[in-house]
Structure 1
Amino acid sequence: MHILLTAATPFEVQPTIDYLASGPAQTSHLTITPLVTGVGSLPTTWSLMRQIGRERPRLIIQAGIAGCFTDRKPGEVVAVGKETLADIGVWEDRTFKSIFDLRLAGPDSPPFTGGQLINPWRQLLGLTSLDPVPAVTVNEITTDPARISWYQQNTGAVVESMEGGALHFVCLQENIPFIQLRAISNEVGVRDKTKWDIRSAIASLNTRLTGFLEKLNTTADTIF
């Protein structure tokens, strides 16, 4: 089974790459290709489409760290169930209007469902043993309190990234199963890096990621 393992930066998944290089029996039925897409939605979309064109995978996994909107500790790992492209639109009169509000696109025009990009692969999400959470994807890391409040009230987002929405969009359009795993490194808001814990987030992320791959090694035939 061919799996594409993607991350915005190499350090986010390096422990898993090192683990796979040792050739563990727990992943013997999987062929895993790492792909560093770069930071942001545009590089991620281009990298994914180029790689899919070269060799179409059975599954794409995106793993990385993320900021959190809710009261969760750094190092906690979540699986993303649905994404909102949260900065495509216009801020006007202290509120955000999406392309759907502006009637530039229909909220149920593929690959959107109700204006969101929803992962339909429930068995894969279940295999993570994590509750799927909503997320937002932005091109500019959020620090403004008004925007943070809007995202919380209107999307219910738990985490924020700069690449998740690109994964969901591409995979839904290409009909490729996918999973997005995110480890919380910081609270969304003012960039006070003294309160960030990237090391703990990466350690937890890769523990969950290797565990997911080990489960997939023995259950893939029942899912695909």
Structure 2
Amino acid sequence: MTGLLVVTAVPAEAEAVRTGLTDPTATVVPVGVGPALAGAATARLLALAEAAGRPYGGVVSAGVAGGFAGRVAVGGTVLAGRSLAADLGAESPEGFVPVDELGMSPEMLGGTIAVDADPALLATLRSALPEAVVGTVLTVSTVTGTAASTRALAERHPDAVAEAMEGYGVAVAATQAGLPFVELRTISNPIGPRDRGAWRLREALAALGTAATALDALRTGTR
């Protein structure tokens, strides 16, 4: 076992994680943006490690995210109780219909559109990060950018605290490999109309480095 595989989207997130994570058995890899790329890259990394006889013991999706106003503050830390594919489905006159409500069998869906965090890993991080907000983290392929779409998404997912673009893809790869998974995010901006001037990316990356210190506690929790 080679410890944790920590997957981020971009190099800046990976560098932030490395500033806080000291576990020498952990590997931090930026794999790209979006659920498809993140999932494929994570699956390849897991397969290569297993083939080399050095399988990982757990997988973490880490990075910055947008947060739902009133549910988590900019600069705050989020732990995903589950990672959910929020825009996998179909439009209808009545609104968005999740893919698991379209009459497809579980086999056609590959299981579920939401992956729960591993209870042991989540509990360990909650203990190490008592100020973190726990809730559903949505995975989207298109970042929410209007007040109307933000309102609709918040109403559809009342337990959601943040949205990002990779968690569900990474979670599926980990689940397919039979490995425990958890998602850790820090908030750079409120979800809604895009205002790059209001983003606090530097602060969110600094917060990610601080939160990443908690990942050392997972070393004994991986298998």
Aligned equivalents of 2:80, 2:168: Cα separation in 1: 10
Q: 1:61 maps to which residue? A: 60
Aligned equivalents of 1:77, 1:185: Cα separation in 2: 10
Aligned equivalents of 2:199, 2:154: Cα separation in 1: 20
Q: 1:145 maps to which residue? A: 147
Q: 2:157 maps to which residue? A: 155
Q: 2:52 maps to which residue? A: none
Tell me the amino acid that sits aligned with residue 102 of structure 1: L
Q: Which runs of 5+ in 2 are unaligned?
A: 50-54, 127-131
Deviation, 1:107, is 10
Tell me, what secondary structure is at the counterpart of 2:39? helix
Q: 2:16 maps to which residue? A: 15
Alignment of 1:29-108 (within 5 A): 30-55=24-49, 56-71=55-70, 72-93=72-93, 95-106=95-106
Tell me, what secondary structure is at the counterpart of 2:26? strand
Aligned equivalents of 1:40, 1:202: Cα separation in 2: 19
Q: For 1:132, which of 131, 134, 159 is the aligned residue? A: 134
Aligned equivalents of 2:146, 2:184: Cα separation in 1: 25
Distance 1:180 1:19, change over 3 A: closer
Aligned equivalents of 1:223, 1:184: Cα separation in 2: 26
Tell me, what secondary structure is at the counterpart of 1:128? helix
Counting matched residue pairs gives: 210
Tell me, what secondary structure is at the counterpart of 1:66? strand
Distance 1:190 1:109, change over 3 A: closer
Tell me the amino acid that sits aligned with residue 154 of structure 1: R
Q: Per chain length, whose mean CA-contact separation is higher, i.e. which structure has more relative contact order (CA < 8 Å, sep 6+)?
A: 2
2:67–2:163 Cα contact (<8 Å) kept: yes
Aligned equivalents of 1:4, 1:60: Cα separation in 2: 5
Aligned equivalents of 1:108, 1:134: Cα separation in 2: 23
Tell me, what secondary structure is at the counterpart of 1:75? coil
Q: What whole-Å deviation, never above 9, does each CA across 1:128-185 have from its counterpart, x for those lacking one?
A: 1244311211101111333322221222211001101112222222211122100000
Distance 1:107 1:66, change over 3 A: farther
- Computed over aligned residues only, the root mean square deviation of the Cα atoms, in angstroms, reads 2.2
1:9–1:39 Cα contact (<8 Å) kept: yes
Distance 1:216 1:97, change over 3 A: closer
Q: What whole-Å deviation, never above 9, does each CA across 1:83-108 have from its counterpart, x for those lacking one?
A: 22111112222510111221124499
Distance 1:216 1:104, change over 3 A: closer
Distance 1:144 1:92, change over 3 A: farther
Q: Which runs of 5+ in 1 are unaligned?
A: none
Tell me the amino acid that sits aligned with residue 167 of structure 2: G
Distance 1:94 1:149, change over 3 A: farther
Overall identity of the aligned pairs, in %: 26
TM-score by length of 2: 0.85
Tell me the amino acid that sits aligned with residue 58 of structure 1: G
Distance 1:19 1:117, change over 3 A: closer
